[in-house]
Chain A
């Protein structure tokens, strides 16, 4: 059935956008929790914890996201595990976000000078107390800009899950185009929807990074 691209089409895309956002939020939450644990293990853990985490980060960062998505969807059934597109997409994106967030946050924890640990421990604070009251508050401030920047990457990269048939914004655009044959109208609308979400976040990320630079040079 060929129909014109109109209000119905926009509503259909908006529903796809909701899935994009839902998948992004889920990815950020799951990847964030695991990423934090990995970041702490990577920067503060003993060698036998640091090494496997470092390997995981390197491995995922060197693999195209699409391949991780394909592995979750087409590869896991090989081991008898059949995931529906939504679950496979969430799993793949979480694996991906965990690696990148762990790496970003490890850098932020290590960016807090060694002397802050010493000053705190010299005052009698334990390691975990130092982490909680001295190191993390500073690391979090450092991390805000890059973290929001990576959230933009997550939103854009959810689009690769279209290739396993998960109907998020990009896949919704493809489906609509197949019905309307108005690719320019459809995909410009899709692009504008991504832009409306990503651009403000990019601006916000830049602002946070700038603020941090001002903070660290102020004297």
Chain B
């Protein structure tokens, strides 16, 4: 398996506050990595560094053939290879579902109009929302909006997908449909890094789980081992109340 994402010694400061204190992580193509940890441990910041939304001070990130952290970057090219889905969906409210999906392919990739329908159908069918093509985001439930956000990301044909607590803003009865969409995506072999509070889902879907604590990768390994046989007190204290 080739390496899809390699993070070495990543350090990130907000002012004087050191948020990431030297993070190392290797993700092979087709891996599904769950990132767990307390609020404030730096999970979101790590994801945002990976696709260049946050600059960082030290370390290197190699992703899909690009290296971040060595001089000026072509972030635009990088971002077309890395998809990101946010907790708050962040769909464009003034555009229909189809327009949300085709905006980046049209503007960034110069995809000709004749190919738009085909693309929209392809990605919407992957999240089971073919019938919502012409709806506006505010006509959809939270779960549907989040599935559209996933489809919008897929439309750029990323090699790696990043998910930041994508079910945390949803009512409990709506998380299932989004998790199902992610799981189906995992089964297609998509490389994914997902920050999540859904421990059951992480254990079941992720090939590997990373526990972050105080800006470091505190413990990582195959999901079965992380959840079944945690080595550190911090991880035990974190997962025990969650598994009950």
Write the residues of chain A forming the contact surface with B, with a CB cutoff of 8 angstroms. Answer: 115-116, 118-126, 129, 133-134, 137-138, 141, 215, 218-219
A218 to B90, CA, bound (A): 16
- Is A123 a contact of B79 with CB atoms below 8 Å? yes
Residues of B within 8 A of A141 (CB): 94
B217–chain A nearest beta-carbon distance, Å: 23
- Is B156 a contact of A134 with CB atoms below 8 Å? no
Residues of A within 8 A of B103 (CB): 123, 125, 133-134
- Is A125 a contact of B107 with CB atoms below 8 Å? yes
- Is B92 a contact of A122 with CB atoms below 8 Å? no
- Is B156 a contact of A123 with CB atoms below 8 Å? yes
Contact of B104 among A116, A118, A125 (CB under 8 A): A125
- Is A115 a contact of B92 with CB atoms below 8 Å? no
Contact of A122 among B77, B79, B107 (CB under 8 A): B79
A116–chain B nearest beta-carbon distance, Å: 7
Q: Which residue of A lies closest to B149 (CB)?
A: A119
Q: Which residue of B lies closest to A217 (CB)?
A: B138
Besides A116-B90, A129-B107, A215-B138, 13 new A-B residue pairs in contact (Cβ under 8 A), listed by A number: A115-B86, A118-B90, A119-B92, A120-B92, A121-B79, A122-B79, A122-B84, A124-B77, A125-B104, A125-B108, A133-B107, A138-B92, A138-B93
- Is B104 a contact of A123 with CB atoms below 8 Å? yes
A118 to B88, CA, bound (A): 11
- Is B88 a contact of A115 with CB atoms below 8 Å? yes
17 contacts between A and B (CB under 8 A): A116-B90, A116-B92, A119-B86, A119-B90, A120-B104, A122-B51, A122-B86, A123-B104, A123-B152, A123-B156, A124-B156, A125-B103, A125-B108, A129-B107, A129-B108, A141-B94, A215-B138
Question: Most chain-B CB neighbours within 10 Å: which of A120, A123, A138?
Answer: A123
B167 at the interface (CB under 8 A from A): no
A146 to B107, CA, bound (A): 31
Residues of A within 8 A of B84 (CB): 122
Q: How large is the interface on B (under 10, 10 to 19, 20 to 34, 35 or more residues)?
A: 20 to 34
Contact of B94 among A119, A125, A137, A218 (CB under 8 A): A137
- Is A124 a contact of B93 with CB atoms below 8 Å? no
Sorted from nearest, which 8 A-B pairs have the closest CB atoms?
Answer: A119-B90, A123-B104, A124-B79, A124-B80, A122-B84, A124-B108, A115-B90, A137-B94
Residues of B within 8 A of A126 (CB): 76
B176–chain A nearest beta-carbon distance, Å: 20
- Is A138 a contact of B104 with CB atoms below 8 Å? no
B53 at the interface (CB under 8 A from A): yes
B133-184: which have CB < 8 Å to A?
138, 152-153, 156
B27–chain A nearest beta-carbon distance, Å: 18
Q: Which residue of A lies closest to B152 (CB)?
A: A123
Residues of A within 8 A of B76 (CB): 124, 126
A58 to B156, CA, bound (A): 44
Residues of B within 8 A of A121 (CB): 53, 79
A138 to B95, CA, bound (A): 10
